[in-house]
Amino acid sequence: MRNANEPSIKEFKHKSERILLRLSGILTITVVLLCIPVVLLGGELKAWTYLILTGLLTPIFWKFIVRFRYYKNITDAIQINENQLPELYRLYKEVALKMGFTEESGKNQIPPLYVVNGYGIKTFLSSKSAFYENYIVLKDDIANLIYDDENNNINALQFIIAHHLAYVKCNLMSSRNVMFYPMMRVLFLHKLFSKAQQYTADRVACYYFPACIENMINLHITANLGERVNIQEYFTNIEKYENNLFLKFANLIKDGLAYRRIKTLRKAQQQGWDIHGKII
């Protein structure tokens, strides 16, 4: 149940996510309306319109897709509970309850948590393949932070868990979002939408765990050196290239937000959670 003073889901969402979703929805409906007379008059549809029209069928098959992905992904995963990595489970449960999830069955029930083999690849701020419709998957490299006290990485782990739970809380993987996704791909907006959703998840995590932001920044910059790194010097060096045209283009075509995300986290640490980071 949402606290009266807690921001609404709409307020949590990054402004670009709302704009891109609304734009894609309007354009999808427009394309459908334009396709109807073409079909009725015996005309031929363009190839790209089939991709968009297929997206409209997503809600029909969404439950099947979700269940298929669920069983596909948990095949080699470890489910975390009171008897399996109990320290991690207690932390996960604590974070989930603080974010408004409950232990009772229903819409707000705490999602299951799974750990998979990360094969030594530490993707601390990556959301790819780390969240799904109603369950959370962590790489073992990330889960292992529960046992790392040296660099205060437990705080960073809290932030990471909150980030992933935000995808469930804000329903970022809804059938509606997926339904309009083909239009985003046609317009090459899908990567921008993904970045906006990453910001949304960070905004939620910053709201609930502001004290963990600094640890998250340290962990992203370096997994092992932690607080030994001069953060101010790091940002000073980054800002030298911020307006470089090639860097802007690289940011546009890549999936993640890289340094922009860290810069936004730092601003949220100083000014509060309600910061809308740049997606381009």
3-class state of residue 50 by DSSP: helix
Residue type, 116: V
Report yes or no on 2 lying in a domain. Answer: no
Domain that holds residue 88: 9-271
The pLDDT value given to residue 239: 80
DSSP state of 131: B
The pLDDT value given to residue 133: 61
Q: Following DSSP, what letter does each residue of 51-105 receive, concatenated?
A: HHHHHTTHHHHHHHHHHHHHHHHHTT-EE-BTTBSHHHHHHHHHHHHHTT-BSSS
The alpha carbon of residue 25 and the mean position of all alpha carbons in its chain are separated, in whole angstroms, by 20
Report yes or no on 248 lying in a domain. Answer: yes
Residue type, 65: I
Of these ranges, 5-9, 60-64, 231-235, the one predicted with the greatest mean pLDDT is 5-9
Residues 227-234, mean pLDDT to the nearest whole number = 80
Residue 31 tokens, joined: 């394309």
The pLDDT value given to residue 159: 95
Report yes or no on 279 lying in a domain. Answer: no
Report how many domains make up the chain.
Answer: 1
- Does the pLDDT value for residue 90 go beyond 90? yes
Q: Taken in order 257, 137, 1, 146, is the CA torsion positive or negative? A: negative
Report yes or no on 221 lying in a domain. Answer: yes
Average pLDDT, the chain: 85
Residues 145-174, mean pLDDT to the nearest whole number = 86
The pLDDT value given to residue 129: 35
Distance CA 128, CA 138 (A): 11
Q: Which helix (H) or strand (E) holds 151?
A: none
Report yes or no on 112 lying in a domain. Answer: yes
The pLDDT value given to residue 1: 55
Report yes or no on 280 lying in a domain. Answer: no
Report yes or no on 247 lying in a domain. Answer: yes
Distance CA 195, CA 130 (A): 14
pLDDT digits (tens, 9 = 90+) for 171-208: 887 777 888 888 998 888 988 999 999 999 999 999 99
In angstroms, what is the C-alpha Rg of the chain? 20
Closest CA relative to residue 201, chosen from 141, 268, 252, 271? 268
CA angle 260, 276, 142 (to 5 degrees): 55
Report yes or no on 4 lying in a domain. Answer: no
The pLDDT value given to residue 118: 72
The pLDDT value given to residue 270: 94
If one compares 155 and 248, the residue with the highest pLDDT of the two is 155
